[in-house]
Chains A and B, each alone.
Chain A
Amino acid sequence: MMHLPVQLTWLIPTLPAAAAAVIAVVPARRPGLGAGLALAALAGSLILAVLALGGALADPATRLTHTFTWFAVGHGAIRLGWLLDPLGTLLAVMVAAVGLLIFTFSLGYLREDPRAKQFFCFLSLFAGAMLGLLLANSLLLLFVCWELVGLASYLLIGFWFQRPAAAQAARKAFITTRIGDLGLLLGLVWLQDATGTLLLFDGGRGVLEAEALSTLAGATTVGGLAVSTAIGLLLFCGAAGKSGQVPLHVWLPDAMEGPTPVSALIHAATMVAAGVFLVARVFPLLAADLALPLAPVHALSVVAAVGAVTSLFGAAVAVAQDDIKRVLAFSTVSQLGYMMLAAGTGAWTAAIFHLLTHACFKALLFLGAGSVIHATHHEQDIRRLGGLRERLPVTGATFAVGMMALAGVPFLFSGFWSKEAILHAAHGWAVSQLPFLVALAAVALTAFYMTRLLAEVFAGAPRGHGAETAHESPAVMTIPLVVLAIASVSLGFLGTPWWPWLQRTLDPTFKAEAGGAGLMAVSIALVATGILAGWTRYGRHPRSDARAPDPLARSVPRLHGALAARLGCDELYAATLGRLNAALAAAASALDRSVWDGCVRFLARLGVYAGIVSRETDEKALNGGFNAAGDGLRASGRAYARTQTGDAHGYVWMLAAGFVLLALGALLGEAR
């Protein structure tokens, strides 16, 4: 099999990025051209990524790197690079493949949108930046791509910027993730300062290689933290922002204001997983402090704790949401928490396994939701849906597959295997069993809310006009669903305990541990409980009309109310941080207007005045003075000296005077 030379890695992200640039300038009246270009470029990237994966799998233990100097400043140089290893290339193949399916789906979804061209332009930009992020061998390059995917996400959430909610959500997403990115940037600067490089692997000198790691773990900073712990936690801030971890999760549910294919690609399958990828990528750095038993806190423990809290929080809030996309969004938050939990307990391969399977089934669920929304004329409220099983047979069947994969229905579905791997890791964590118990609770909740969602949307009778008149979506939308459904089943078999191919590929030192049968039985029981509870409440007696209250709201109204209000996070932030920010902004504005503005105006006046004086002296006073001195010469040369502005004689006099002054200065300076 042909392999991609590592020197050509740049082609993979550049193809979609170049497509974005070209699409930006093709005429808007030919949307087909733009979409075709985007698809072709991403297909090219997919082929190249598969070739790169082939090269990386041929020998998983060696890392193919290609570094180059971006530019040299003084005696140092800023170097960037590409890296082809199983982790990056595997995810690149996933991103390109899922992206291709979602691009295809978008052809149908946005058929009537007049700004479809721009949509494909932004999507291509996103794909290019995301692929660059995955394949970067330099944290600086990774950061550049990281910010670019953030930009693309902002543009796409606000794609329908005419709707105030969409514009607001785009801003919220951008600003919230930026808070995390500040930590990431600080971490990078610190890392550069401490090690002198931001390359990941550089023949022994990279930040993830033994020499730098022992230096970082050996030094301590404020509070007795190892430098590696502090830097690792700062990097994790960025990861938490991007991956919607509590307390920076608030942007992700709102991001559902974007078009549904965007939610599927960016806010479920790929970009939000970038935080998990970052943690997996810099895992050696995060794990460097494990060798220090006296450290006050280990970076990975923080990761695990945040992940556990997020997984339970997301699952609980998802139970009480009524918008089909919001349920899925909180489910994404919860699943990302699982991945962080896995990475925090040391099983980063399990995190990546779950990342891959989750990308497939969550993209499937979101595209299924998109198909429902498309078919019911933009009805997203599950209380007004219902009875879609007969009307949307393909969508219904594939959505059920996605639901079972997410809920972790045993053996056949991929989500089961990846979740098992995570639970196994959490169970074996030496520090605490608490995250494991939290994760078990989330397992039951996940099964419950997914059953609720499936029952409300597809079972019973239609409860609204949109649902009554629904028709199955066109083939261009259903074929991606079918492909993703197949992948949602089959991907799980890459990482079963009996044949952990994926784990071994990602980490050649991985050893499968025996003795998971009891744990597996517990989790199967929990899944069964969740599904049963969901079915008895929502499936057996579907609600009669859209206004009937939720069964949970009847039995535990206060809990349901709190969960429906997302446990008040947004309100809390608005009351505290938002207020604080507004107060600071008002103070800064007042200071700006009264004090600084005055200073700036004064300086500006001074500058303009000095400019006028300088010009006047140049063109009038100096020339005039020399004119007076050189009247004799002037008479002879009046013919050409009478010009609109300057006077040639004056200029030459100026030159002579300049020479004399400079020479005098030099002579005097030397004499002194």
Chain B
Amino acid sequence: MTIDYSELLHAFRPEACLVAGALLVLGLDLATGRGRTAERRARNAALLGLLALAAALAATFAAAPTGPVAAGTMLLDPLARVTRTGVLGLALLVLAATPGTLRLPHAAEYVALLLFATAGFTLMAGTTSLLLGFVALELASVALYLLAGFDKSRPESAEAALKYFLFGAVAAAFLLFGFSLLYGLTGALELPGIARGLAAQPVSPLLLVAVVMVLVGFGFKAAAAPFHLWAPDAYQGAPAPAAALIASAAKLAGLAFFLRLLESGLTAPAADGPPAPWTGALAVLATLSLVVGNLAALGQGNVRRLLAYSAVAHAGALLLGVLVSGRAGPGPVVYYAVTYGLATVGAFLVLAVLDGQGGAQAHADLAGLRRRSPLLAGVLAACLLSLAGIPPFAGFLGKFLVFAEALKAGGPASLPGAIALLAIALSAVALYYYLIVLKEALVRAPAPGAPAIRVPAGAALSLIATVALLLALGLLPDLLLRRF
């Protein structure tokens, strides 16, 4: 098999931009950083990183969707393109907000790690090979472990990184085991080959075990119950921008890989045949996540842990979207993931800005935010309302699309329909705990003597862009949906 290198270069241009950017950031900081203030170095590194991300974004837009490339390990289809755009955009928002909010001694390394993680995400977005997919996943994960533990001045950060790493390593082991079983069953590493191999044999216990192992691995990535236990600790301890990336872009990229794997690799052989082997297990994960996430969030007094449990709940809705994506196409669930990612990034970036000025952990730390910084309060309100699914923010339409598809798939009596009804009922619970946070921010008076908050320019820009995107996608959902 020959590989067309020019085609390869074309297909991997975004990744090339990111890796080159990361190396450039590191090299430049090493060469010129000595003697400059930490602030200056951080700014330069962030600027270079933004340039690399922008270049990767431009390359993604420039590449027309084509078929399989690189000997069938990548597929540049609309799903890949939208996911790449999404993860790059989310990374851009996170990085733009970093200078001025996160005071770190080794900013260049931080930026480089962020770029490496993003390269992992973009690879996951398009891969159709188990091997490349696993490598991409690990590239992203290892970078994220480091980012979670980057704030060496706080023990919580180290704790978060350690737990995330420990859990992630075990999940990766499950995933790899599952992949190797699939390879053993079908003799193929590329998804079309696996599908062909599985179509030729009956459903065996070994296949079921392999599928469940893969589900466990992805369940960890998506923080789906019962594999969610790392999330509250990691979200709480990690630096807020790193948590934002873990909660948003990593989920989107993981979702794309997962969708591809389930839909084109492990798909049911015939449309009206028996359901694919993963349906039942996926439904269990979705239901558990919805219930556990929403109910546990009620009892939280810490904003970040609340966001973590709400992430578990959203993972449940995402898995529901995956469950019905065979019928509806990937549009609704990817729309959900993108808008969820945007709102989460916005919320975490607000916390990041607050972290730079005294910290924000408990609900009470947000008291009087409206007085202290109208911008932050407004953005937080927009993002939480979007997470809760209130129009005109995009979160509403994401929920609407996914639930509508689930109900249409077989009516309220079918499995997806029943989960959708449960999810709708739990949305009311979710609104309650989001509103508790908003009450602190918008209604409560600030603690006496609490100073006004200065929002750094980059963060302000990034926050405004986040809300603008939430509104734009909410009002004109076709901007994204017509890409599919």
Partner-B contacts on A (CB < 8 A): 68-74, 604, 607-608, 610-612, 614-615, 618, 640, 643-646, 648, 650-652, 654-659, 662-663, 665-667, 669-670
Partner-A contacts on B (CB < 8 A): 156, 159, 162-163, 166-167, 170-171, 174, 203, 205, 208-209, 211-213, 215-216, 219-220, 226-227, 229-230, 232-233, 236, 277, 280-281, 284-285, 291-292, 295-300, 328, 331, 397, 400-401, 404-405, 408, 429, 432, 476-478, 481-482
Q: How far is the CA of A71 from the CA of B479 in the complex (A)?
A: 8
Which A residues are CB-close (under 8 A) to B220?
655
- Show 12 residue pairs from A and B whose CB-CB distance is below 8 angstroms, ordered by the A residue: A69-B482, A71-B478, A604-B432, A608-B298, A614-B291, A640-B162, A646-B233, A655-B167, A655-B170, A662-B212, A666-B209, A666-B212
Which of A604, A646, A654, A666 sits near B280, CB closer than 8 Å?
A666
Taking A607-B429, A658-B227 as given, write out 17 further A-B residue pairs in contact, using a Cβ cutoff of 8 Å, ordered by the A residue number. Answer: A69-B478, A72-B331, A74-B405, A607-B298, A608-B298, A615-B296, A615-B299, A646-B233, A648-B163, A652-B166, A655-B216, A656-B170, A658-B219, A659-B174, A662-B215, A662-B284, A670-B205
Which A residues are CB-close (under 8 A) to B156?
644
Least CB distance from B126 to A in Å reads 24
Q: How far is the CA of A651 from the CA of B159 in the complex (A)?
A: 14
Which B residues are CB-close (under 8 A) to A618?
229, 292, 296
* Minimum-distance CB pairs A-B, first 7: A611-B298, A71-B477, A651-B229, A658-B226, A611-B299, A611-B295, A663-B212
Which B residues are CB-close (under 8 A) to A646?
163, 229, 232-233
Contact B478 A663 (CB under 8 A): no
Least CB distance from A26 to B in Å reads 15
Contact A651 B162 (CB under 8 A): no
Nearest B residue to A613, CB-CB:
B295
Which A residues are CB-close (under 8 A) to B291?
614
Which B residues are CB-close (under 8 A) to A611?
295-299
Which of B171, B209, B285 sits near A663, CB closer than 8 Å?
B209
Contact B281 A666 (CB under 8 A): yes
Nearest B residue to A78, CB-CB:
B478
Which of B226, B280, B408, B476 sits near A71, CB closer than 8 Å?
B476
Least CB distance from A222 to B in Å reads 29
Which of B233, B295, B300, B401 sits near A643, CB closer than 8 Å?
B233
Q: How far is the CA of A417 from the CA of B321 in the complex (A)?
A: 63
Contact B281 A662 (CB under 8 A): yes
Which A residues are CB-close (under 8 A) to B397?
71
Q: Known contacts A665-B284, A667-B208: does B166 contact A71 (CB below 8 Å)?
A: no
Nearest B residue to A658, CB-CB:
B226
Contact B277 A70 (CB under 8 A): no
Q: How far is the CA of A669 from the CA of B226 in the complex (A)?
A: 20
Which B residues are CB-close (under 8 A) to A650?
229
Nearest A residue to B309, CB-CB:
A615
Q: How far is the CA of A650 from the CA of B170 in the complex (A)?
A: 13
Which of A69, A648, A666 sits near B166, CB closer than 8 Å?
A648
Nearest B residue to A610, CB-CB:
B295
Among B163, B174, B229, B284: residue with most chain A CB under 10 A: B229
Q: How far is the CA of A669 from the CA of B211 in the complex (A)?
A: 14
Which A residues are CB-close (under 8 A) to B166?
648, 651-652
Q: Known contacts A74-B328, A607-B298: does B216 contact A665 (CB below 8 Å)?
A: no
Least CB distance from B462 to A in Å reads 19
Q: How far is the CA of A658 from the CA of B482 in the complex (A)?
A: 38
Contact B404 A645 (CB under 8 A): no
Nearest A residue to B230, CB-CB:
A651
Which of B211, B227, B400, B477 sits near A655, CB closer than 8 Å?
B227
Q: How far is the CA of A648 from the CA of B236 in the complex (A)?
A: 15
Which B residues are CB-close (under 8 A) to A670?
203, 205, 208, 277
Q: How far is the CA of A669 from the CA of B284 in the complex (A)?
A: 12
Q: How far is the CA of A70 from the CA of B166 in the complex (A)?
A: 45
Q: How far is the CA of A83 from the CA of B57 in the complex (A)?
A: 36
Q: How far is the CA of A670 from the CA of B229 in the complex (A)?
A: 29
Least CB distance from B209 to A in Å reads 6
Q: How far is the CA of A640 from the CA of B166 in the complex (A)?
A: 11
Contact A669 B167 (CB under 8 A): no
Which B residues are CB-close (under 8 A) to A612?
298-299
Nearest A residue to B158, CB-CB:
A640
Least CB distance from A465 to B in Å reads 46
Which B residues are CB-close (under 8 A) to A662?
212, 215-216, 281, 284-285
Which A residues are CB-close (under 8 A) to B174?
655, 659
Least CB distance from A593 to B in Å reads 20
Q: How far is the CA of A310 from the CA of B233 in the complex (A)?
A: 69
Which B residues are CB-close (under 8 A) to A654?
226-227, 229
Q: How far is the CA of A71 from the CA of B405 in the complex (A)?
A: 14
Which B residues are CB-close (under 8 A) to A655?
167, 170-171, 174, 216, 220, 226-227, 229
Which A residues are CB-close (under 8 A) to B233?
643, 645-646
Least CB distance from A367 to B in Å reads 36
Which A residues are CB-close (under 8 A) to B163?
643, 646, 648, 651
Nearest A residue to B156, CB-CB:
A644
Q: How far is the CA of A658 from the CA of B292 in the complex (A)?
A: 14
Q: Known contacts A614-B295, A648-B163: does B280 contact A658 (CB below 8 Å)?
A: no
Contact A665 B328 (CB under 8 A): no
Nearest B residue to A642, CB-CB:
B159
Contact B215 A614 (CB under 8 A): no
Q: How far is the CA of A607 from the CA of B429 in the complex (A)?
A: 8
Q: How far is the CA of A654 from the CA of B219 in the complex (A)?
A: 13
Q: How far is the CA of A73 from the CA of B402 in the complex (A)?
A: 10
